[in-house]
């Protein structure tokens, strides 16, 4: 597969075209950002860790019958992915209260949310990714009712699989963010699944191994990410 031109440079990843029009390369950089991109740093080795974690999780999802854009990891920091048209939504699934839902609703952290909550945010930097109701999504014509229902279904299926995978690794999946695209007209899980986009707590605690270490300066970020990978790899034996 020949890497051709950069299609999109994100805050953390870049997407490249290949000689196959249906296939792209997603390359993880060593950058990390938080707080609307205001806080940023370069953490050498982060891209490799994220590529390994994301690839492993997408493979586990595929094995459990949940498809995504992931094809395979082609080198240390890149995955081969199916080309998809990005939907401008961030889909958050919450099993425990943390982060913005605590700030917004004045809730204590680590309350169990049952059934899990699925939230939608508009991927829109100018408006700081606002929370959207289903009616806003319809009004803005972001996705159809059918696509909305399909996204909720897939997000909950991802949650079921990942909650189990992380539990085997001794980690509680408090919440996470997913992105979806359209591939041949169908809703498809895209982007990444990693400690940049998940809150992962040592089982039975609120001790995070995820990006909250960077957001809140609560520990060595890469050490947390390495521990997540080590624990996930141990579940594959
Ligand atoms: N998240 C993300 N990208 C974003 C916003 C949130 O990956 O732009 C993830 C975040 O890591 C967490 C979940 O989505 O796992 C819920 O985040 P929350 O809404 O609590 O926002 P935060 O407290 O991170 O600002």
Per-residue pLDDT tens over the stretch 191-204: 999 999 999 999 99
Q: Write down the pLDDT at residue 117.
A: 98
Q: Name the E strands within the chain.
A: 3-9, 13-18, 23-28, 31-34, 39-42, 70-75, 78-82, 85-86, 89-96, 112-122, 131-132, 171-183, 186-190, 198-202
- From the list 80, 28, 86, the residue with the least C-alpha distance to 59 is 80
Pocket of ligand 1 (CB under 6 A): 90, 92, 98-101, 129, 175-177, 197-199, 211
* Atom 7 of ligand 1: nearest residue by CA position: 197
Å from CA of 7 to ligand 1 middle: 25
Q: Write down the pLDDT at residue 21.
A: 96
Q: Write down the pLDDT at residue 237.
A: 76
Q: Write down the pLDDT at residue 55.
A: 98
DSSP summary character for residue 107? P
The CA-atom distances, in angstroms, between 31 and each of 3, 14, 50, 74 are 21, 11, 11, 20
Non-local (6+) Cβ contacts of 138 within 8 A are 145, 148
DSSP summary character for residue 182? E
For the full predicted model, state whether its pTM sits above 0.95. Answer: yes
Closest-lying ligand 1 atom to the alpha carbon of residue 98: 20
Flag residues of the chain having pLDDT under 50: none
* Atom 19 of ligand 1: nearest residue by CA position: 100
Å from CA of 149 to ligand 1 middle: 22
Query: What is the rounded distance in angstroms from the CA atom of residue 159 to the CA atom of residue 116?
Result: 9
Q: Ligand 1, from 175, 198, 221: best to mutate by most atoms within 8 Å of Cβ?
A: 175
Q: Write down the pLDDT at residue 1.
A: 77
In sign, the C-alpha dihedral spanning 68, 192, 187, 7 is: negative
Query: What is the rounded distance in angstroms from the CA atom of residue 26 to the CA atom of residue 37?
Result: 20
């Amino acid at each position: 597969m020949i890497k051709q031109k950069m299609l999109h440079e994100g805050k953390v990843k870049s997407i490249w075209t290949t000689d196959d029009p249906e296939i792209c390369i997603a390359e993880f950089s060593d950058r990390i950002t938080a707080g609307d991109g205001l806080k940023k740093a370069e953490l050498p080795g982060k891209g490799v860790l994220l590529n390994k974690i994301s690839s492993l999780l997408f493979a586990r999802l595929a094995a459990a019958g949940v498809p995504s854009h992931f094809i395979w990891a082609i080198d240390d920091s890149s995955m081969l992915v199916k080309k998809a048209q990005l939907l401008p939504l961030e889909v958050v699934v919450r099993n425990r209260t943390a982060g913005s839902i605590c700030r917004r609703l004045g809730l204590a952290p680590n309350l169990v949310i049952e059934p899990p909550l699925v939230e939608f945010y508009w991927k829109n930097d100018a408006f700081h990714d606002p929370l959207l109701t289903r009616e806003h999504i319809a009004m803005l014509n972001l996705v159809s009712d059918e696509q909305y229902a399909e996204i909720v279904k897939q997000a909950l299926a991802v949650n079921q699989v990942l909650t189990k995978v992380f539990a085997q690794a001794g980690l509680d999946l408090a919440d996470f963010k997913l992105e979806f695209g359209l591939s041949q007209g169908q809703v498809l899980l895209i982007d990444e699944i990693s400690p940049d986009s998940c809150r992962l707590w040592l089982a039975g605690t609120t001790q995070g191994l995820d990006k909250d270490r960077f957001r809140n300066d609560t520990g060595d970020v890469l050490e947390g990410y390495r521990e997540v990978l080590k624990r996930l790899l141990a579940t594959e034996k």
